[in-house]
């Protein structure tokens, strides 16, 4: 030990300032001179005097080294003593050490992981120039009862805006598109976008290789060029630099690759657009939009997305006001487009920030998680503080003896702080490990609609925050007992019962800490309870369809441009699918439930008091769709094959909601409806089917009309079979290939998968909050149990007297339990009050359950009281088993 301490001292000397060394050399030299002077005065020759001086001085180097060692030893010595002492005392009470370190580690681990997540989702910069200045331009129409963020300005309107608006540094229009990429005989479908020449400059993104589109690329003749994403470059071209000389086959046409975008640039991501193409997760390829002049001036609703970058000195409100002015003018100037049947020319203006759209929806969730994890950390800190206080009180005697033996106060404070720092460092180390584990687990819960969740990693800043937090916590927790110990009056201590007096203040503090912790646990438990109830409610929603149906998506290319071709294709596909062994029915629909596509039509119902711009959802299905999805028939009949061929007086099927809204108190079967504003072409209702949850599980069904057709274009096909889904999926691929080898079945899911995807966000938040609440509960119980044990220890004497005076064991047991329940009930009361306020923030997360749900409140209360009593029972039983004689003797 001494040996390596010397080494440390020497190391320290190496780093020590040169000044001290020079000073020492000078002092030794002067000392020797003075000695030699003296010897000379006694009559020695200078030479002899010098030697004698050396002798009298002793070893110069030894003296110097001793000086150096002494110089650096003092602080090392004390630090090492403190450390060693701290480690020894900590290892002597492993119960305390393990509990404190684990508590802190759990708090820090959870906090670090959630901070990393939030950092990845909300804070870490996107691969674009300042995303805060990016905005989307929408033109909502008051006549259409749909969300405002569905419709962007038409091309014609957009180019008018671009010409006249002064608010933007750059503006771009693009369309999402799926491309079939053929490579070595296999065809896969990838997400892409057709973009104008300002797309990349608006985003302020530059390629990592090659170039983006120049102006002439967007002229039709040059339109066969493409920019690809980093991931596509890696997967298709093995990230080789010669990619720029190569081409890629999209939908059967060759595109020359001119650029590769950097990693992470996959705009638009699914979550980047408010109502994007649900089949496109992220964008891997960009090609020029290449509009002809006719398309450029079209005033009809398009599929375009309008993106712009605000000038740095323009606010969203100013931009919006300017856009409103321009839109009002063009609305007056141009008649309604003949393509947009029945929609009035009243396109409005709405400017919304890109970050608001892309991360706005997850912000409340992130805040919720931060709040929850913050509470967990607070509880952890409270627990550690409590443990330290209890320990300090138990050690009052030891500290008193130390003080009596002359230990300096500063030194004692340092000792206690060293100990709490050791706990803090331990908690930090274990906490980081826990955080890493937690981050590994998080993606397994990934609901798929939280942007960049998978990129969450422990970053240095988060790491530092965690370390700082933990050390601060343990320091604060260690400081209180340390100050208490240093303030201790020796005379008080020497009076026999001073120990109790000094811990009374501690005891009050400890009790309030427990009450506060319990209150926080109640808030977390209630929050988790409400979320669990909501989740159960969502899971038990009647979706209206079977989970077992296997679905896939087909999109037909330009080879199927004629309706007859499409009809033939789908008839053959359905017939072949239904001929497969085990298959009960197969049918297609243009937009599957729980995917984001939607189609709306204006509707007039014969014999109903029709209002202007009355809307219904519409679906085109092949006749056996209902059987394939197992959607129950309520009245009338399902479609027959003949229905799909009808050209006039087409039969339609409506859902229950439609029947309720438009056929109140009358039989809808045989009723007539039309989507034709001239009311020439009517359809007849032949059946009513059960409501289906289309938009989301949590939204009430809307009126919906089904039309039968085999001319399905791009469609989703549902297949119901008695075979397992994987086998069905294989058969689907084989069947599709036998009809057309160039078509690919994409998005193969069971409807159960889609439900699971739809509830993933809820599962994510519910499981996280439940885990946090569980951790918090356990921590609080550990704290409570610890406090009870401590108070039993402190009251051994008192209990002994009580028992000597005739108290029964049962009385003692009840006494301790009563003490515990007072704390629990106080905490519960406070917690319920906080919950009353806090759950208001939870409101948007709840489904089918009130924010003050009595069931949850009662459950949480019962759970807490039962657990609290259980935690207090062990120490209480120990108190009850105290032998009165021994207890009275121990003092």
Partner 1 sequence: MPIQILQGTLDLMILRTLATMGPQHAYGIAGRLQQVSDDALNLNQGTIYPALVRLEQHGWTRGSWGRTENNRDAKYYTITRAGLKALDEETERWRQMADVVEKLLAEEQ
| CB closer to partner 1, 11 vs 441 | 11
Is 57 one of the binding residues for partner 1 (CB under 8 A)?
yes
Question: Which range in 25-33, 291-299, 303-311, 819-827 contacts partner 1 by CB under 8 A?
Answer: 25-33
Query: How far from 835 is each of 409, 526, 779, 828, 861, CA to CA, in Å?
Result: 44, 7, 19, 10, 12
Residue from 11, 22, 30, 303 in contact with partner 1 (CB under 8 A) = 30
Is 490 one of the binding residues for partner 1 (CB under 8 A)?
no
Is 27 one of the binding residues for partner 1 (CB under 8 A)?
yes
| CB closer to partner 1, 30 vs 188 | 30
In this structure, how many other beta carbons lie within 10 angstroms of the beta carbon of residue 598? Answer: 18
| CB closer to partner 1, 60 vs 471 | 60
Is 66 one of the binding residues for partner 1 (CB under 8 A)?
yes
Cβ 9 to partner 1, closest distance in Å?
Answer: 12
Residue from 52, 60, 76, 324 in contact with partner 1 (CB under 8 A) = 60
| CB closer to partner 1, 15 vs 805 | 15
| CB closer to partner 1, 74 vs 123 | 74
Residue from 71, 211, 395, 763 in contact with partner 1 (CB under 8 A) = 71
Question: Which range in 21-29, 247-255, 484-492, 811-819 contacts partner 1 by CB under 8 A?
Answer: 21-29
Is 70 one of the binding residues for partner 1 (CB under 8 A)?
yes
Structure tokens that stand for 109 in this block: 């681990």
Cβ 29 to partner 1, closest distance in Å?
Answer: 8
Is 886 one of the binding residues for partner 1 (CB under 8 A)?
no
> What is 120-186 written as a DSSP string?
IIIISPPSSS-GGGEEEEE---TTS-S-GGG-PPPHHHHHHHHHH--SEEEEEEEEEEEEEEEETTE
CB 478 within 8 A of CB 135: no
In this structure, how many other beta carbons lie within 10 angstroms of the beta carbon of residue 523? Answer: 25
698-701 contact pairs (CB < 8 A, 24+): 698/538, 698/541, 698/847, 700/657, 701/544, 701/655, 701/656, 701/657
Residue from 59, 95, 848, 850 in contact with partner 1 (CB under 8 A) = 59
Is 409 one of the binding residues for partner 1 (CB under 8 A)?
no
Residue from 35, 307, 480, 729 in contact with partner 1 (CB under 8 A) = 35
| CB closer to partner 1, 65 vs 249 | 65
| CB closer to partner 1, 73 vs 370 | 73
Cβ 20 to partner 1, closest distance in Å?
Answer: 9
Question: Which range in 60-68, 357-365, 588-596, 688-696 contacts partner 1 by CB under 8 A?
Answer: 60-68
Is 33 one of the binding residues for partner 1 (CB under 8 A)?
yes
Question: Which range in 58-66, 218-226, 410-418, 770-778 contacts partner 1 by CB under 8 A?
Answer: 58-66
Please name the helix (run of DSSP H) or strand (run of DSSP E) that holds residue 621, with its range, or none.
Answer: strand 615-621
Q: Are strands 715-721 and 186-195 parallel, antiparallel or unpaired?
A: unpaired
Q: Write out the binding residues for partner 1, residues 719-748 only, by CB under 8 A.
A: none
Cβ 49 to partner 1, closest distance in Å?
Answer: 14
Q: Which of 379, 472, 433, 498 is nearest to 107 (CA)?
A: 379
Rg (C-alpha) for the chain, rounded Å, is: 38
CB 197 within 8 A of CB 218: yes
| CB closer to partner 1, 73 vs 869 | 73
Q: Which of 711, 702, 666 is nearest to 685 (CA)?
A: 666
CB 253 within 8 A of CB 153: no
What is the 3 state secondary structure string of 22-38? HHHHHHHHHHHHHHHHH
Residue for token digits 């998680």? 369
Cβ 5 to partner 1, closest distance in Å?
Answer: 15
Residue from 26, 329, 440, 666 in contact with partner 1 (CB under 8 A) = 26
Q: Which of 446, 427, 425 is nearest to 435 (CA)?
A: 427
Cβ 56 to partner 1, closest distance in Å?
Answer: 6
Is 866 one of the binding residues for partner 1 (CB under 8 A)?
no
> What 3-state DSSP class applies to 219?
coil
| CB closer to partner 1, 51 vs 314 | 51
Is 665 one of the binding residues for partner 1 (CB under 8 A)?
no
Cβ 66 to partner 1, closest distance in Å?
Answer: 5
Question: Which range in 53-61, 102-110, 339-347, 580-588 contacts partner 1 by CB under 8 A?
Answer: 53-61
CA contacts within 13 A on the Cβ side of 193: 31
Question: Which range in 56-64, 189-197, 218-226, 309-317 contacts partner 1 by CB under 8 A?
Answer: 56-64
Residue from 11, 25, 45, 58 in contact with partner 1 (CB under 8 A) = 58
Residue for token digits 């906080």? 834
Q: How far is CA 232 from the centre of its chain?
A: 27
All residues at 6 or more sequence positions from 533 whose CB lies less than 8 Å from its CB, including other chains? 846, 848, 849, 853, 855, 856
Please name the helix (run of DSSP H) or strand (run of DSSP E) that holds residue 683, with its range, or none.
Answer: strand 683-689
Cβ 411 to partner 1, closest distance in Å?
Answer: 13
Is 23 one of the binding residues for partner 1 (CB under 8 A)?
yes
Residue from 8, 63, 87, 234 in contact with partner 1 (CB under 8 A) = 63
Question: Which range in 61-69, 221-229, 662-670, 829-837 contacts partner 1 by CB under 8 A?
Answer: 61-69
CA gap 387, 385 in Å, rounded: 5
Is 84 one of the binding residues for partner 1 (CB under 8 A)?
no
Is 67 one of the binding residues for partner 1 (CB under 8 A)?
yes
Cβ 12 to partner 1, closest distance in Å?
Answer: 13
Q: Are strands 604-605 and 672-674 parallel, antiparallel or unpaired?
A: antiparallel
Strand boundaries in 297-441, DSSP class E: 304-310, 350-353
What is the 3 state secondary structure string of 365-392? HHHHHHHHHHHHHHHHHHHHHHHHHHHH
CA gap 748, 751 in Å, rounded: 10
| Total number of residues that touch partner 1 (CB under 8 A) | 27
| CB closer to partner 1, 60 vs 888 | 60
Please name the helix (run of DSSP H) or strand (run of DSSP E) that holds residue 870, with its range, or none.
Answer: helix 854-880
| CB closer to partner 1, 62 vs 844 | 62
Cβ 68 to partner 1, closest distance in Å?
Answer: 9
> What 3-state DSSP class applies to 635?
strand
| CB closer to partner 1, 70 vs 699 | 70
Cβ 2 to partner 1, closest distance in Å?
Answer: 15
Residue 621, strand partner residues: 589, 708
CA gap 77, 74 in Å, rounded: 5
Question: Which range in 29-37, 426-434, 500-508, 864-872 contacts partner 1 by CB under 8 A?
Answer: 29-37
| CB closer to partner 1, 54 vs 737 | 54
| CB closer to partner 1, 69 vs 691 | 69
Is 22 one of the binding residues for partner 1 (CB under 8 A)?
no
Residue from 22, 37, 641, 883 in contact with partner 1 (CB under 8 A) = 37
In this structure, how many other beta carbons lie within 10 angstroms of the beta carbon of residue 795? Answer: 20
Number of H helices, E strands in the chain: 28, 22
| CB closer to partner 1, 63 vs 143 | 63
Is 130 one of the binding residues for partner 1 (CB under 8 A)?
no
User: Where on the chain is the footprint of partner 1 (CB under 8 A)?
Assistant: 23-24, 26-31, 33-35, 37-38, 56-60, 62-64, 66-67, 69-71, 74
């Amino acid at each position: 030990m001494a040996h390596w301490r010397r080494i440390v001292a020497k190391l320290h000397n190496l780093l020590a300032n040169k000044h001290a060394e020079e000073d020492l050399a000078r002092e030794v030299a002067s000392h020797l001179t003075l000695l030699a002077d003296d010897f000379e005065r006694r009559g020695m020759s200078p030479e002899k005097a010098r030697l004698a001086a050396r002798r009298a001085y002793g070893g110069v180097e030894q003296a110097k080294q001793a000086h150096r060692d002494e110089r650096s030893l003092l602080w090392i010595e004390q630090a090492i003593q403190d450390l060693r002492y701290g480690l020894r005392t900590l290892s002597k009470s492993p119960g305390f050490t393990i509990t404190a370190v684990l508590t802190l580690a759990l708090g820090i681990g959870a906090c670090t992981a959630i901070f990393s997540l939030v950092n990845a989702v909300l804070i870490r910069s996107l691969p674009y120039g300042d995303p805060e200045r990016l905005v989307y331009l929408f033109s909502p129409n008051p006549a259409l009862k749909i969300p405002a963020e569905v419709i962007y300005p038409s091309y014609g309107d957009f180019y008018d805006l671009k010409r006249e608006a002064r608010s933007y540094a750059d503006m771009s229009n693009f369309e999402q598109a799926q491309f079939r990429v053929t490579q070595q005989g296999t065809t896969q479908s990838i997400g892409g976008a057709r973009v104008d020449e300002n797309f990349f400059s608006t985003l302020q993104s530059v390629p990592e290789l090659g170039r983006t589109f120049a102006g002439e690329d967007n002229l039709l003749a040059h339109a066969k060029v493409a920019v690809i994403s980093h991931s596509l470059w890696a997967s298709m071209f093995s990230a080789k630099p010669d990619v720029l000389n190569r081409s890629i086959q999209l939908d059967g046409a060759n595109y020359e690759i001119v650029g590769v975008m950097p990693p992470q640039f996959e705009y638009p991501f699914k979550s980047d657009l408010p109502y994007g193409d649900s089949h496109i997760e992220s964008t891997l390829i960009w090609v020029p939009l290449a509009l002809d002049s006719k398309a450029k001036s079209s005033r009809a609703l398009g599929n375009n997305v309008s993106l712009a970058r605000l000038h740095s000195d323009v606010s969203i409100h100013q931009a919006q006001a300017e856009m409103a002015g321009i839109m009002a003018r063009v609305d007056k100037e141009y008649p309604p487009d003949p393509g947009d049947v029945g929609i009035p020319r009243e396109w409005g203006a709405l400017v919304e920030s890109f970050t608001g759209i892309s991360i706005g929806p997850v912000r409340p969730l992130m805040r919720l998680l931060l709040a929850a994890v913050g509470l967990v950390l607070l509880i952890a800190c409270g627990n550690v503080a409590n443990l330290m206080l209890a320990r300090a009180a138990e050690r009052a005697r030891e500290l008193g003896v130390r003080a009596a033996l002359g230990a300096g106060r500063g030194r004692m404070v340092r000792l206690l702080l060293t100990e709490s720092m050791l706990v803090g460092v331990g908690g930090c180390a274990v906490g980081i490990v826990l955080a890493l584990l937690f981050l590994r687990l998080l993606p397994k819960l990934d609901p798929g609609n939280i942007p960049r969740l998978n990129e969450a990693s422990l970053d240095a800043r988060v790491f530092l925050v965690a370390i700082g937090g933990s050390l601060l916590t343990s320091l604060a927790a260690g400081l209180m007992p340390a100050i208490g110990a240093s303030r201790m009056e020796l005379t008080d201590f020497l009076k026999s019962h001073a120990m109790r007096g000094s811990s009374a203040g501690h005891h009050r503090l400890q009790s309030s800490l427990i009450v506060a912790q319990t209150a926080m646990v109640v808030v977390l438990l209630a929050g988790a309870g409400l979320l669990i109830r909501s989740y159960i409610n969502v899971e038990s929603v009647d979706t209206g369809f079977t989970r077992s149906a296997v679905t896939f998506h087909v999109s037909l290319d330009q080879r199927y441009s004629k309706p007859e071709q499409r009809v033939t294709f789908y008839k053959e596909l359905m017939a072949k699918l239904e001929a497969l062994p085990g298959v009960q029915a197969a049918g297609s629909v243009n937009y599957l439930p729980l995917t984001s596509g939607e189609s709306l039509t204006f509707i007039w119902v014969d014999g109903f008091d029709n209002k202007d711009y009355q809307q219904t959802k519409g679906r085109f299905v092949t006749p056996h769709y209902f059987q394939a999805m197992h959607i129950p028939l309520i009245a009338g009949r399902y479609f027959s094959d003949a229905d799909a061929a009808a050209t006039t007086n087409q039969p339609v099927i409506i859902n229950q909601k439609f029947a309720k809204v438009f056929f109140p108190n009358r039989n809808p079967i045989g009723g007539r409806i039309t989507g034709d504003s001239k009311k020439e072409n009517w359809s007849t209702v032949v059946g009513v089917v059960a409501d289906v949850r289309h938009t989301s599980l949590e939204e009430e069904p809307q009126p919906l009309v089904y039309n039968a057709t085999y001319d399905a274009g791009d469609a989703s096909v549902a297949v119901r079979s008695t075979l397992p889904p994987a086998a069905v999926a294989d058969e689907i691929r084989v069947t599709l290939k036998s009809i057309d080898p160039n078509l690919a079945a994409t998005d193969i899911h069971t409807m159960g998968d889609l439900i699971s995807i739809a509830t993933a966000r809820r599962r994510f938040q519910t499981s996280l909050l439940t885990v946090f609440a569980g951790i918090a509960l356990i921590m609080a119980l550990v704290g409570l149990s610890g406090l009870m044990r401590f108070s039993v220890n402190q009251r051994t004497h008192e209990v002994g007297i009580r028992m000597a005076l005739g108290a029964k064991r049962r009385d003692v047991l009840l006494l301790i339990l009563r003490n515990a329940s007072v704390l629990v009930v106080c905490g519960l009361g406070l917690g319920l009050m906080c919950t009353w306020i806090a759950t208001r923030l939870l409101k948007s997360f709840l489904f089918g359950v009130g924010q003050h749900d009595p069931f949850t409140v009662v459950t949480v209360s019962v759970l807490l009281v039962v657990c609290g009593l259980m935690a207090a029972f062990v120490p209480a039983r120990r108190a009850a088993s105290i032998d009165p004689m021994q207890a009275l003797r121990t003092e």
